Amino acid sequence: MSVYRFPRPLLLRIAWALATGEQRSLGADAAGGLRGAAPPPRALDTHCLPHAGPYVVVGNHYQREGLWAGWGAMVVSAAVWEAAGRRRELHWLMTAELLDVRLGPLPLPRRGVRAVLARMARVYRFGQVSARETGLVGGATGLRVAARYLAEGEPVGVLPEGTASIALQEARPGVGAFLAWLTRHGAPLVPVGIYEQDDTLTARFGPPFELSRPAGGKEARDAALRDAVMGRIARLLPPALRGPYALAAEAVDP
């Protein structure tokens, strides 16, 4: 059975950075954290990651009981860092709020959780967006942060589902239009499918692609864009994990 254990010395250094606001390398910390995992997670087809220029990684939020979604995100973050010769970081868009965090049976104050997430965003240079449960799409500040990093030639990471699960769930309404806006200057999207195979946590990257500009009304365009993105992600997952995007995955060109 797989074991995921963050090395304690590294965890203490990260905790100190969160307390002081000192910035750290996400790629280096992700790679360091993965050294405590057995069997070692793997990143496949990393040649799909551009070596230079801006791009947007889009992936699924894989999580099961006993396996936190953050481990998959660390595999992706470490792969992006390694592909860039350890010179560039992946700037994720992360939630600004978790609605039910507990320490054992005790719920933690939401205000305190928000403060910790905000500090994490500062330490690792993330953008923050609204939680899916709020019913809102993104957050103006987080979207501007993502656009700024792309303008600087840096990669950005987006998880369109907005919530963790084993199989794919429907992407958040509005995320298709957001990704089209974010890549309007030509930055490609790079899909990644996160799953477990033979008890090994795996991140499989796919070829970069660009979004078309579909016709129709606002909601129809957003739905078409979401299907295009999620179909690319689904194609990288085992069929049993493709959820509502099984047909979209089959429609994607090889």
In single-letter form, the type of residue at position 212 comes to: S
Q: Which domains can be identified in the chain, with CATH numbers?
A: 3-245 (3.40.1130)
Kindly provide the b/e burial profile for residues 178-214, where b requires at least 16 CB atoms within 10 angstroms of the residue's own CB.
Answer: bbbebbeeebebbbbbbbbeeeebbbbbbebbebeee
**pLDDT tens, residue by residue, 48-101:** 999 999 999 999 999 999 898 999 999 999 999 999 999 999 999 988 777 666
| Mean pLDDT estimate for the chain | 90
55-59, 116-120, 171-175: range with highest mean pLDDT = 55-59
- Write down the pLDDT at residue 88: 93
Residue 135 pLDDT level (bands cut at 50, 70, 90): very low
Q: Quote the percentage of the chain above a pLDDT of 90.
A: 71
